[in-house]
């Protein structure tokens, strides 16, 4: 959860199917996280997508999956 490109996280990437990247980290580390996170073919998940603008921005960056309040509130399993 919350990939930030630490040495330990990078070492685990060959085994990851999904990599979650917090949108707040994109402002600091930008495309570096995307490049490293997707290097081994893992699907990228944008986390904390809170506004429609972030939905568009993350889609432009190439995220295949999004998670956050901009897409709707969190619900429990019985409500699905």
Domain count, the chain: 1
- In this structure, which long-range contacts are made by residues 64-69, counting pairs with CB atoms below 8 Å and at least 24 apart in sequence? 65/18, 67/20, 68/23
In this structure, is residue 37 part of a structural domain? yes
- Please check whether residue 24 is in contact with residue 43, taking contact to mean a CB–CB distance below 8 angstroms: no
Residue 79 confidence (pLDDT): 64
Residue 4 confidence (pLDDT): 67
Domain ranges, residue 14: 7-79
Q: For 1-80, where are the E strands, in sequence order?
A: 18-22, 43-47, 65-66
In this structure, is residue 1 part of a structural domain? no
In this structure, is residue 2 part of a structural domain? no
In this structure, is residue 35 part of a structural domain? yes
Give the pLDDT of the chain (80 residues) as one tens digit per residue. 677 677 788 888 888 888 888 888 887 777 787 887 778 888 889 999 999 999 999 999 888 899 999 999 888 877 65
Residue 28 confidence (pLDDT): 78
Residue 74 confidence (pLDDT): 82
In this structure, is residue 30 part of a structural domain? yes
Quote the pTM value.
0.77
List, in order, residues 6 or more apart from 10 with CB less than 8 Å away.
36
Placement of tokens 């619900």 in the chain: 75
In this structure, is residue 31 part of a structural domain? yes
Residue 36 confidence (pLDDT): 79
């Amino acid at each position: 959860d919350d990939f930030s490109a630490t040495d330990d996280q990078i070492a685990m990437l060959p085994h990851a199917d999904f990599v979650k990247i917090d949108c707040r980290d994109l402002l600091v580390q930008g495309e570096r996280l995307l490049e490293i996170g997707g290097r081994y073919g893992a699907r990228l998940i944008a986390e904390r997508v809170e506004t429609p603008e972030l939905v568009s921005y993350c889609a432009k960056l190439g995220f295949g999956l999004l998670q956050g309040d901009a897409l709707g509130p969190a619900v429990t399993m019985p409500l699905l």
